[in-house]
Structure 1
Amino acid sequence: MNREHDHDSRHSSMQQDGLTGENRSAADHSANPHQDNSMHDSHAGHPGDHGHGQLLGEQRAVKVEVEWKSNPEPIESNQKTEIIIDIKDASGKAHEVFTTVHDKEMHLLAIKKDLSVFQHLHPAYLGKGRFQIKTTFPKAGRYKLYADFLPEGANQQLATHELVVTGHEGDEEINADKVLRKTVDDLEIELILPTARVDEPVKLIFELRDHAGAPVTELEPYLGSAGHVVIVSEDMNEFLHVHPADENTKGPRVEYMTSFPREGLFKIWGQFKYKGKLYTVSFVIEVQE
């Protein structure tokens, strides 16, 4: 069994190992010092540090141990793979009760190390602390998994895990987008963003238009919100999960407030639901000192 320990990133970086099979990580997470507390129910984190912009009632720090298993081994690209996540307390006993956050008891983000693959998954809770999901990894390479969950009576948790998917595909180069406007199927989505600087509050505005150029004004709730945004640094050591300032907006603009804890390249994924279809758009930006 490989062991991977999460630490408060204010003091250290995460030690990674491992990569396939069973993996165990320990987590003890509290509110993130880089998160703007005015943000509405947003999450942000670094390795082993994940928190809410607003704490939910009287929460307490808690140590949980997370065990990861994948089947089959080795993992191959384009092959159905089962991921099992077991949540236990410090004594090794299953933690059995979890609070639903945005319609789910766990959000699982699977991201390839070159940031070219993004999956927002929702494992099923099987009881006795066990979550399970089946997915297919479309490309070979290293992936990092972020499990976002809230044990009842505790702080928000972010547990991470790395795995390797076998195959022959190479990594892609990560470059900042020169134009922050993309077409995703029949929608045009623009990211309106001023210069992003380290530790300065910044507003992200997504503006959506249909294929005829008309503003989208009938966005539908996705996981109880007008949209979800996930932001990851180029080295994958910084992670933010942000929700809209107005979760009930129907467009054409969806606004988010956040801040970036360091300079460098960050990839931003926005997810929106329109006419029953989920749209995912991504942009790479450079954060300046």
Structure 2
Amino acid sequence: MSIKKWVSLGSVYLILVILAYSLITGNNPFQSGELDHNHETSEVQKEEETMEHRQHNHHHDHQVESELNTNVTYNDGRVFIKLEADNGNPPKLAKEHEKEMHFIIVSNDLEAYYHLHPDKEQQGSYVVNQELSDGTYQAFVDITPENKAYQVVPKPVQIGTNETDKASLESEDKWTKEIDGKTVTLEDVNAAVEEKVPLVFDTHGEKPDPHLGALGHVVIVDEEVEQYIHVHPASEDTTTFNAHFSKPGKYKIWAEFKFGDNVNVYPFILEVKE
């Protein structure tokens, strides 16, 4: 059979396939713009999924088995953090919001709060200067190891012999806080487990300055000092943070906003319902 006849048969077959598709679906797959629209929609969905992941990848609720061990010690005004992967080697860390490590340490009663960024002495070994009073603390090593599963869990740090009791949080009745003349209001929150909980902060017309690649940072810990959540703004130009809670109870929120050269930390207490 000649090449011309093969081409003709191929064209007829292609037309029959298109006609069959049109009869079954009622659509013309080659209608102008349809394929481009589907492609565009797919790209938008991918971007939304990526943004959703970025907002929630710091939400830690003990559901992932870590492939990384962390050790936190304190000596004479310095905190030391050691990291070791399950293969015995120090892990390589990806930067998140300009830092390889966000180190959160809070006292057991949730009165003291520090958000620190330790320096790397060598691979797997970090240190930061911070004077801490005697008492019991919980440390959260917030990192993103490359190619390793990791779960942030509280690491107890005891300084001196006096142990600090866990907090018994009371419901918040003051939703507007002022620090150094800068006022922030947390708008009404209806928080329930396993739902997206928008935390909307009103900065009263004064836009915060960028801080560590965002307009703010929000760290949340429950009164048992077990649940740890670290979220960033829902977009680049907003002070709304979407949090997820896996357990009911009372939580303390520390909202960090930078105004000028100062990073102010605004504390709030939130109750999460079933």
With the length of structure 1 as denominator, give the TM-score of the two structures.
Answer: 0.70
Q: What are the superposed Cα offsets for residues 37-80 of structure 1, whole Å, 9 maximum, x if unpaired?
A: 8364331012x447xxxxxxxxxx861222333224xxxxxxxx
In the alignment, does 2:69 pair up with 1:65?
yes
Preserved CA contact (<8 Å) 1:40 1:245: no
Residue among 35, 38, 45 paired with 2:52: 38
In terms of fraction of residues, the more strand-rich structure is 1
Q: Aligned AA for 1:130? A: S
Structure 2 residue aligned with 1:25: none
Q: What is the CA–CA distance in structure 1 between the aligned matches of 2:243 and 2:164, rounded to whole Å?
A: 32
The percentage of aligned residue pairs carrying the same residue is 27
Structure 1 residue aligned with 2:90: 94
In the alignment, does 2:164 pair up with 1:165?
no
Q: What are the superposed Cα offsets for residues 233-262 of structure 1, whole Å, 9 maximum, x if unpaired?
A: 11011111001001x32xxx6101122212
Q: What is the CA–CA distance in structure 1 between the aligned matches of 2:239 and 2:249, rounded to whole Å?
A: 25
**Deviating runs (4+, > 6 A) in structure 1?**
167-170
In the alignment, does 2:142 pair up with 1:148?
yes
In terms of fraction of residues, the more helix-rich structure is 2
Relative to structure 1, the CA distance from residue 147 to residue 170 in structure 2 (aligned partners, 3 Å threshold; closer, same or farther) is: closer
User: How far 1:187 moved relative to its partner?
Assistant: 1.0
Could you tell me which runs of 5 or more consecutive residues in structure 2 were left unpaired when the two chains were aligned.
Answer: 1-50
Could you tell me which runs of 5 or more consecutive residues in structure 1 were left unpaired when the two chains were aligned.
Answer: 1-36, 51-60, 73-80, 210-214
Following superposition of structure 1 onto structure 2, how do residues 1-289 of structure 1 map, counting pairs within 5 Å? 38=52, 40-42=54-56, 43-46=58-61, 48-49=62-63, 63-72=67-76, 81-95=77-91, 97-137=92-132, 139-166=133-160, 173-209=168-204, 215-217=205-207, 219-246=208-235, 248-249=236-237, 254-289=239-274
Preserved CA contact (<8 Å) 1:232 1:238: yes
Q: Whose radius of gyration is greater, 1 or 2?
A: 2
Q: What is the CA–CA distance in structure 2 between the aligned matches of 1:276 and 1:45, rounded to whole Å?
A: 30
Preserved CA contact (<8 Å) 1:180 1:191: yes
User: How far 1:129 moved relative to its partner?
Assistant: 1.2
After alignment, is 63-72 or 143-152 more displaced?
Answer: 63-72
Q: Aligned AA for 2:246? A: P
Preserved CA contact (<8 Å) 2:199 2:242: yes
SS of the residue 1:196 aligns to: coil
Relative to structure 1, the CA distance from residue 98 to residue 226 in structure 2 (aligned partners, 3 Å threshold; closer, same or farther) is: same
